[in-house]
Structures are given as structure tokens and as C-alpha cells.
Amino acid sequence: MSSVTVREIIEGLDLEVLHLPEKEIRIYNDELIRPGLQLSGYFDMFAYERIQIFGKTESNYVETLDQNNKINRIDKIFSYPIPAAIVCSNMNIDSVMVYCAEKHDRPLLRTKDSTTKLISKLDNFLEAKLAPEITVHGVMVEVYGIGILLTGKSSIGKSETALELVKRGHRLVSDDAVIIKLIGNILECTSPEITRHLLEIRGVGILDINHLYGVGSIRLRQKLNVVINLEEWDQSKAYDRLGFDEKYVQILGKNVKKMDVPVRTGRNIAMIVEVAAMSIRQRILGYNIEDEYNKRFENYNKNKKM
């Protein structure tokens, strides 16, 4: 299960630390809560496993409480194993809250951001960090804005195809290992940090695409649109000639269009990948070659009968 530490959140969102336990605290839940009901004394079904957000409303309400209620309710909130409490808008933090955070050893943080802005930033941060992910063997490229995952057995020519595509003005996302995350409803691909911008060509070695071709030749992350599987030409196999047979592969529960492209001497695979990307863009823009072909075929049959 994916997780993120409180320290990562502090660094990622530039939060001020008022109290932070020495032990590392991991967060597995990307949901947030504003504990208004708890400050009023209602603790049934308290979602204590979520990060607690104290906005202006909650902070101002705390100041209206008498000392006994303030201590009891804040102490009870911090007595639960909450992952962190964040005070927004650079509000003054009541000394009772600081005392309770230290007493129960819970993270207490503060931000200059408004409540709405913090929740938006924190939602995006947690969604990216906690998204389901897998790492697959392949090469990820962006061609005409289309995210293409090249797969196939080792030495089939994936990296060489990617290099040719980069020379044609397209962009490399990742070589060899591709990290795929399900963020919302989108499969987003990126590269492990250790191999970022690097491309391995057998007989030549490791190439730094960023230095060789410039920043316009790389992309840090890209939505996955299609999987193109490169395989050795098999004379006995019937390959799709019209492109009307829809194939899909499941990745993190999502169906992704798949194309099997046979490789043999004389075939320009980079050009085929470019054409596949343009075909997918046509479909996105509303043009479907299958519909056009069927219309032509119907007209041909009508004219033939006349």
C-alpha cells in the first residue's frame, strides 16, 4: 500500500512545524477532515485517521469556548492517533493546542495558505503520492501529444525506436522501467529518478537525452493513451491489416488500447509509431477511419448493383 510521511508533506507544502514527533509517521489515507463537530463535543464516528485541518472557522470557534471545554475537547482530539493537525491562514495557535500536541506527541503544523488553498494543494499532493502504482518493463514516449508505451522482449528495438522518435522531435518519458500511477481516472507514466532522461542503446551505452537533444526532448510525466507491443514477425500469425480489431490490456484496472506491431528488416518502426499516434489523435478529434471505410464500402456495393 502506498504511503507518505508527515515529513514529506512538510517539505512538499513548506509547512511550519510547531511540534513534530521523532518517530516517522506514515499516512495511507488521502482524505481530510475539518474537526468542527469534535470541537463542539461530538466524537461519534470521528475520522481520526485523516489529517485534521483547522481553518479560520475552527480557530475562531476555539476562542469562544470556556477554558474547561477548550481543554477537554482539544485534548480529546489529540488523544486520538491523528496523523497531523494543520492550522491555516497563519492563524495564532492557542497554547492549549500546542500543549495537547506535545502531551500526546502529535504533529502540529501551520501554513500561510488559506483553508481552501491548502486543501486543494494537499489533495493534489496526497493523490499523487498515494495513487496505486506499478512498474513495467518498456519505453514510454510522447508522440504528437499521445502517450505511447512501447513493450516487447529485450533487444526487440524499443530503445532504438525511442531514439529515432526523439530525433524526429518527439519526447522521451522513460526507458527500461516505467512507473504507472492511477491518478483519478488517468494513468500517468513517469520514470524512476535513477534513470530519468537516460536511454540505453546496446553497443553504444547510456545516453543522456536531455544533454544530447535539449529539454524539449524529454517529458517528466505523460498520460498513457496506447500500448504498442513490438514482436518478431511471425509468418503463421494473422496480423490486423485494417486496424478495426480493438485490443485492450488492463493496467491498474483500466482498459488501455493495445496494438501488436511486427518487427522485421525493412520496417520503419518509428514511422509506424508516429502514424499510430496521429490515428489516435484523429479519433480524439472525432474522425474515425472505420466509419469512413464502411461508408465507402457501402457506396461501392450500391454502385456495383446499379
Is-contact 60 88, C-beta < 8 A?
no
Give yes or no: 158 in active site: yes
Is-contact 35 87, C-beta < 8 A?
no
Amino acid identity of 59? Answer: S
Catalytic residue among 7, 103, 137, 167: 137
E runs forming strands in 20-138: 26-27, 32-33, 51-54, 85-87, 108-110, 133-137
Catalytic residue among 23, 44, 66, 241: 241
Q: What is the DSSP letter of 248?
A: E
Catalytic residue among 158, 170, 197, 219: 158
Catalytic residue among 34, 76, 121, 176: 176
* Residue 11 Rama label (left phi>0; alpha psi -120 to 50; beta): alpha
Give yes or no: 176 in active site: yes
Residue 87 and residue 181: Cα distance in Å, rounded? Answer: 30
Give yes or no: 170 in active site: no
Catalytic residues: 137, 158, 176, 241
